[in-house]
Each structure stands twice: as structure tokens, then as C-alpha cells.
Structure 1
Amino acid sequence: MYLSLYNNSLNGIIPIEIGNLTILHSCLGYNNLTGPFLPQSSTFLHCKKLYWETTISLVISHPNIDYLPRLLHLNLVGIQLSGKIPSSLFKCKSLEHLELYDNHLEAETVPLEITNLTSLVYFSIPKTNISGEIPSFIGNMTSLEYIDLSYNNLRGEISSNIGNLPFLRDFFVLENKLSGQIPNLQPSLQGYGVADNYLVGEIPYSICNLSSPDSLYLSENRLDGKIPECLGNLTSSLSLVELQNNNFHGEIPKSFAQGCTLQSFRINNNQIEGSLPQSLSNCKELKVLDVGNNYLNDSFPYWLVNLDKLQVLILRSNRFYGRVDNSDVAVSFGRCVSSIFL
């Protein structure tokens, strides 16, 4: 049975009588329900997917949830969940997808028992008050493809063991208190987010080995060195690059790929020199270009007018020169760019 009471105005305690149903897929999110984590019954014995999202207020009070032997997907996002993660959760051997975003868990760090979930592919616990270091044992969970530990209080370095995960596609630890350098990146990565930490050092050369990256969030750190030239070639798949508010120097990569898929390119507030490469005109999907607060020295880039989808253009606080009062160019920019900061 598929039970969906999603997005109503229901309130009160989840009725225990629900246990008379054999549920395979439960979706109770976006209501005002309260009560224990799961009613004690055979209700969820065959359940494979639980989606209990936002505005449910639950307490993890039941000590055993290992009576969910077939559970594959557990989504408890923004439900004001409180208490400790019950150890019996880690007996759900079939679990592939675990998402606990935006709750108030009592966990000092990622529990070691997570390694018992040998089928886990998707592991997302951002904004859950976890602290401590990123444990190295995560690197032994070789089935993982997606990890999100963002918006917590994690400290220390990013474990190099993360590089042992052969199928990892997405890794996000945004807005923590991590330090040290960015470890080597495995070729399988598509999304990589370490913004808003205290990372230092250069972008590792292993970035050049990424096969089909989609997004790169490195902003708001203390990174330095040059932007790897290979980054231009990676724009055949990259849609978003955020390198702003670091200490990068040198020049922007010269060669942006033919068929460039970039939608947002932000390198503002660095120490970038040289010119704005005209190969950026290959990026026909570009919507946001922010190179402000650098040391770029170039004539005004009239050729950007050919980027029909450009909405935000920020060139301020550089060394651009030349006339900008060409009326035809001004009209053309006005059609496609909603915000221009020179």
C-alpha cells in the first residue's frame, strides 16, 4: 500500500491504528503531526520508503526500529527531530538512502555504527548539529555516491580516505570549520562543495582528472595559488564555478571549452591579473559573471554582448579601460543584462 497524506493541514498524534495497514511507501510530510518516531506495530514491516518531511515534530523515543528489514529509503528532513540516533537504525542492512537534513540530533560526530549500512549510497545529514572531525572510516564505505555534511560544526581536516570511495559523485561540507588543504579528488566527482571553511593551499592538480564535473564550490576560504589552466577545459560539463573570496593570483584560464556549459562563474575578491579571455564567449549558457575586486587589466569586453543569457555582469574594482559609451552596445547589453556593476 502507498500512503500519502503529504502537504495538508493535519495535526495531532500519528494514530497507532495506522499499524493495521501494510505500508510499502509512507509520505506524511508537510503537516503538523507529532508523536514518537514510529508507532510500535507491524505497519512498517514491509516498508521500503519513508518520507516524513518538514513540520512534523517527532521524538526518537522508540528504542528499536530494526523491525524495518526492507527499508531502502529514509527521509526525515526538517521535522524538528530530537534525541539520539537509535543504534537500531544501523541494523537496517538494506538501507540505501539516509537523509536527516535540518534536525536537532544529539550526536557529537558521525557515529561509527554508520559503517554497518553496507548498502548505503546516499548519506545526507546537513544542519544537524554534528561536530568533531570527519571520521576516516567514511572512506571505507565504498558504496557511497553522495555525502552531504554541510552546515554543521565539523573541525579538522578533510580526510584523505574520502579519496578511496570509487563511486563518489557528490561531496559537500559547506559552512563548517574545516582547515588544512583540499585532498586529492577522485575522477568520479561531479559536485564538490567545501565553501565557507578555513581551507588553505592550492587547488590540487587532481582536479584536472575529473571526468564530468558539474559544480565546484571553493569560495570563502583561504586558498591561494593559481587557478589551474585545465579548469577551462572542464567547462564542457561544469555549470557552476565559485572561487570568490580567496587569495588566488595569476590569470584566468585562457581556453574555455567549445560548447561550454557554464551558467555561473564567480572569481571576485581575489588577486587575479591579466585579461578577460574571449573564449568565455563559448559559454552561451552563462547567466552570472563576477570578476570584481581583482587586478584585471583589459579593454572593456564588448564581446560579452553575444552572451544572450547573461543576467549579472560585475567588473568593478579592476583596471578595465576604454570607452563604454557605444550606444549600440549599451542597448544590446540592456536587453540581456539585468544587473551591471562596473
Structure 2
Amino acid sequence: MLSGQLVPHLIANWTQLTLLFIDSNKLTGRIPSEISLLTQLQYLSLSSNQLSGCIPSNIGNLKKLSQLLLSTNHLSGVIPSTIGNITELNGLDLSENYLRGPIPWEVGYLTSLSLVSISSNLLHGPETISIFCNVTSLSLLFIADNKLNGHIPQCLGNITNLKFLFSQGNQFHGGIPKSLCNPCHLHFLDLSKNYLSGVIPTCLENFSNQLSILRLDNNNLHGALHREFCSSSAFKFVDLSHNSLSGVIPSCLGNLSTTLSLLDLSMNQFYGNIPEEALKGDVLQILILHYNEFEGPLPRTLLNCTALQVLDVGNNGLNDSFPHWLDALPQLAVLILSCNHFHGVIGNPTTKIPFPMLRVLDLSNNHFTGHLPENYLLHFTGIINDITPDLDVTYSSDHFVYVYGSSVMLVVKGSDHSVEEILAKPVHSHRLIK
């Protein structure tokens, strides 16, 4: 593994170099300004090092560059506006640094860009992402975890080739523009952890065959979950948690049963029964409904969900006996029934080895009576044998791998704790494939 600094006078002699890969090493110091002398360079990757200082302002002299990859370093300062001179640039990755200031308008002149990743920096400024509206070749836009604010511009809908939009962890406010339904190839839409308000646009039905991952969690959205939402036949992850959504869950969610792996509607104001028709798929792995106003029994159709790993219905008004029939689910690792109106004697297991993978069981704050049967205690093999289940669901594409882990609420000594703290699982991560 290489270490040390990039030596300026050596770099100055590499004038005929076309490809330079020195990523995933331990290089330190600054990127020397002599890098601009490599005018034949087409591919520059210095990612995953320990480089610091500013990006040289004369980087724009590399007119033949198609890929500029400087992610995961300690770079600071502003993004140089001279990047706008690299007219053949196809991929720009400056993510996971300490870059600050607004995104320079000149980046919007790069009409050949297909990938922009500037996530996890200190970038700020109102509505600066509108600079990308005319880059119609863009297919991947990663601007997450910055301090960008203002409204999400309507003109983003002009990027009709857009496939992946990550803008979570910023300070955007206002409504979700309906124009985001225009890019007909959108696979992934993540607007979570912002200050967005209003309702979820009904035009989501336009994504009937494309949108796999939808994350609108941790915003201020309100209104009902409309029936048009059920029109998509490609949803794999849906996270609408931590909003102010209300109404009943439409039974037509069962239309998603052949694709949906994760559904998180927690921390909202949904009410009524959990419809049996909505839970009939054998691919559902994680169902999180805690902190709503659901009532009635647990739907017996959950038995169809043979891949289910996490079931969290805590802090609702469910009224049922102990769902002993769930002990037949072979993958169930987390079962949260706390703070409901479950009642009666728990009874004996219905299977020889009940809950074979169970790691977390929360029955607190209900109305159960009698003893916890010994047959359960003796056969919780997931706990006894220290089986650690993989509570992540994964989405892969040609460009990146996205891993989404479950986050459920567990009562410990009267206080709520999220289950990823208990099992040391990440909430979510993504990795670009270059």
C-alpha cells in the first residue's frame, strides 16, 4: 500500500499519461497543482486516501478528462468553478470530503455528465441543485448529507434519464414537486431526512415498472396513502416513517406482494385494522408499523410471509391473543408486540422448534396473564445458540449496492431503544461501483 505525498516534480514529467489510478492507498498531503500539466489524462482516481487541502483551481486544464474521482479523502475548500471547463467529463465523484460552499454553476455546463456524487460534504446554498436541470444526460445524482436548502426545483424533472436520486440528509423544504415523476427510468428516489411537507404526489403510479426504492422518511409529509401508490409493480423498499401520514392502509398494497421486501410506516398516524389483503407475499422481510393507531387483530395472512425477519407493531392499539401461530415463521428474528392490548394466556408453541431464529422478543405493556411457557424458553434456539441473523435487505444494480437495515423500537427498562443499537446493525449504507 502506497504512502507519503504526491511529488510535484515527478508528476510534472507524466505529461503523456492517460490513466492514473492511485486510489485506496494512504497518500497524504495536497494534490499538487502540477497535476494540471497532465493534459492527456482521461481518467484520474485518487479516491480513498488521506489527501487534504483544496482541489487545485487549475484542474480545469485537464480538458480530456472523462472521470474525476477524489472521494473519501480530507479535501476542503470549495469546488473549483474551473471544473466547468472539463467539457468531456462523464463522472464526477467528490463525496466524503470536507468541501464547503455552494455547488458552482459552471458544473451545470457539463452536458456529458452521467454521474455526480458530492454526498457527505459541507456544501450549502439555496436551490443550488437547479444547476443540474440542464444536464439531461445525468443518470445518477448523489447530493446527500450536506447542508443544501431551499425547495427541490421543478426543473429536476427535465432530467429524463435520471435513474438514481439521493438527496437525503439536507435541509430542503416545501413540497415534493410532481415533476419528479417525469423521469420515467427512475429506480431510486431518496428524499429522506429533510423538511419536506405536503402530500405524496399521486403521480407515483407513473413508476409502475421502474421505481424499486422509495425513501421519504423523516420529513413533515401528511395526508393519506393513496390507492395510486399500489400501482407500482417494482417497489422493493418503501420507507415512509417519521412523518404525519394518516388514514387507513389500502388493502391494494397486496399488489406489491411479489416484490416488496421492506415496508416501514412507523411513527405516523395511520389507523384502522391492518388489512389482511396487504400481507400475502413471501418476499417481505421487514415490516415496521410501530407508533401508529392501528387496532384489531394481527392479520393471519402474515403466515404467508415466510421470509419475514422483523415484525414491529409496537405502540399501537392492537387487540388480540398471543400470536402463537407466528412461531412457524422460519426467519423471524425480531418480534415487537409492546404497548398494545394483547391479552390472555400465551399458551404452548404450535411447532416443535418455535421461533428458531428469534433474537429479540418484546411483549411489554400488554395484558398477558399466566406464565411464559417453558417450552418457549427452552427452544429459543436463535438466542441459545447465539445465531446472529442478517437483518439487512440489499438492492444491487450495475452502479451500486444499497444495503438497508431494520430499525425497530424496543422497550428496555421503560425506555425506547432502536434495535440496531441492540444488534449493532447499520441503518443504511450504499456503495458506488466504479
The alignment's TM-score, normalised by the length of structure 2, stands at 0.73
Change in CA separation of 1:61 and 1:323 when aligned onto 2, cut-off 3 Å? closer
Change in CA separation of 1:327 and 1:170 when aligned onto 2, cut-off 3 Å? closer
2:239 aligned residue: 217
**How far, CA to CA, are the matches of 1:321 and 1:41 in structure 2?**
68
1:315 aligned residue: 337
Instruction: Identify the range of structure 1 (28-37 vs 14-23) with the bigger mean alpha-carbon deviation.
Output: 14-23
**How far, CA to CA, are the matches of 2:90 and 2:103 in structure 1?**
17
Instruction: Identify the range of structure 1 (252-261 vs 287-296) with the bigger mean alpha-carbon deviation.
Output: 252-261
Q: Is the 8 A contact 2:79 2:99 kept in 1?
A: no
**How far, CA to CA, are the matches of 1:318 and 1:174 in structure 2?**
28
Q: Does residue 278 of structure 1 match 2:295? A: no
Change in CA separation of 1:193 and 1:16 when aligned onto 2, cut-off 3 Å? same
Picking from 21, 24, 32, the partner of 1:7 is 24
**How far, CA to CA, are the matches of 2:56 and 2:254 in structure 1?**
50
2:138 aligned residue: 120
Instruction: Identify the range of structure 1 (240-249 vs 66-75) with the bigger mean alpha-carbon deviation.
Output: 66-75
Write out per-residue CA displacement over residues 31-55 of structure 1, whole angstroms, 9 at most, x where no aligned residue. Answer: 2212432462687433322222223
1:150 aligned residue: 168
Write out per-residue CA displacement over residues 56-76 of structure 1, whole angstroms, 9 at most, x where no aligned residue. Answer: 313336432233222212111
1:294 aligned residue: 316
**How far, CA to CA, are the matches of 1:159 and 1:327 in structure 2?**
51
Picking from 22, 34, 49, the partner of 1:31 is 49
Instruction: Identify the range of structure 1 (241-250 vs 38-47) with the bigger mean alpha-carbon deviation.
Output: 38-47
**How far, CA to CA, are the matches of 1:78 and 1:41 in structure 2?**
19
2:225 aligned residue: 203
The Cα of 1:93 is off from its aligned counterpart by: 1.0
2:288 aligned residue: 266
1:16 aligned residue: 33
2:362 aligned residue: 341
The Cα of 1:327 is off from its aligned counterpart by: 5.9
Write out per-residue CA displacement over residues 268-309 of structure 1, whole angstroms, 9 at most, x where no aligned residue. Answer: 111111221222122222111001111212222122122221
**How far, CA to CA, are the matches of 2:280 and 2:334 in structure 1?**
22
Change in CA separation of 1:265 and 1:252 when aligned onto 2, cut-off 3 Å? same
Q: Is the 8 A contact 1:73 1:98 kept in 2?
A: yes
**How far, CA to CA, are the matches of 1:286 and 1:3 in structure 2?**
46
Q: Is the 8 A contact 2:250 2:278 kept in 1?
A: no
**How far, CA to CA, are the matches of 2:253 and 2:212 in structure 1?**
14
Q: Which runs of 5+ in 2 are unaligned?
A: 1-17, 364-434
Write out per-residue CA displacement over residues 287-342 of structure 1, whole angstroms, 9 at most, x where no aligned residue. Answer: 11001111212222122122221111001122223332426769522x31000001
**How far, CA to CA, are the matches of 2:235 and 2:79 in structure 1?**
42
Q: Does residue 69 of structure 1 match 2:122? A: no
Change in CA separation of 1:241 and 1:203 when aligned onto 2, cut-off 3 Å? same
Change in CA separation of 1:260 and 1:25 when aligned onto 2, cut-off 3 Å? farther
Q: Is the 8 A contact 1:236 1:259 kept in 2?
A: yes
Q: Is the 8 A contact 2:102 2:128 kept in 1?
A: no
**How far, CA to CA, are the matches of 1:111 and 1:258 in structure 2?**
41
1:46 aligned residue: 64
For 1:71-110, what aligned pairs fall within 5 Å after superposition?
Answer: 71-110=89-128
The Cα of 1:96 is off from its aligned counterpart by: 0.7
**How far, CA to CA, are the matches of 1:318 and 1:284 in structure 2?**
24
**How far, CA to CA, are the matches of 1:287 and 1:176 in structure 2?**
29
Secondary structure at the counterpart of residue 225 of structure 2: coil
The Cα of 1:256 is off from its aligned counterpart by: 5.0
Instruction: Identify the range of structure 1 (218-227 vs 20-29) with the bigger mean alpha-carbon deviation.
Output: 20-29
Amino acid at match of 2:168: S
Write out per-residue CA displacement over residues 4-27 of structure 1, whole angstroms, 9 at most, x where no aligned residue. Answer: 322322111112344454433332
Q: Which runs of 5+ in 1 are unaligned?
A: none
The Cα of 1:129 is off from its aligned counterpart by: 0.7
Q: Does residue 60 of structure 1 match 2:81? A: no
Amino acid at match of 1:290: D
The alignment's TM-score, normalised by the length of structure 1, stands at 0.92
**How far, CA to CA, are the matches of 1:177 and 1:330 in structure 2?**
49
Picking from 173, 185, 196, the partner of 1:167 is 185
Instruction: Identify the range of structure 1 (193-202 vs 67-76) with the bigger mean alpha-carbon deviation.
Output: 67-76
**How far, CA to CA, are the matches of 1:16 and 1:2 in structure 2?**
17
Instruction: Identify the range of structure 1 (308-317 vs 68-77) with the bigger mean alpha-carbon deviation.
Output: 68-77
Q: What do you get for the CA RMSD once the two structures are aligned?
A: 2.2
The Cα of 1:192 is off from its aligned counterpart by: 1.1
* Percentage of identical aligned residues: 34
Instruction: Identify the range of structure 1 (275-284 vs 207-216) with the bigger mean alpha-carbon deviation.
Output: 275-284
Runs of 4+ that moved beyond 6 A: none
Q: Is the 8 A contact 2:27 2:51 kept in 1?
A: yes
**How far, CA to CA, are the matches of 1:29 and 1:61 in structure 2?**
16
Secondary structure at the counterpart of residue 318 of structure 1: coil
**How far, CA to CA, are the matches of 1:63 and 1:197 in structure 2?**
32
**How far, CA to CA, are the matches of 1:93 and 1:313 in structure 2?**
50
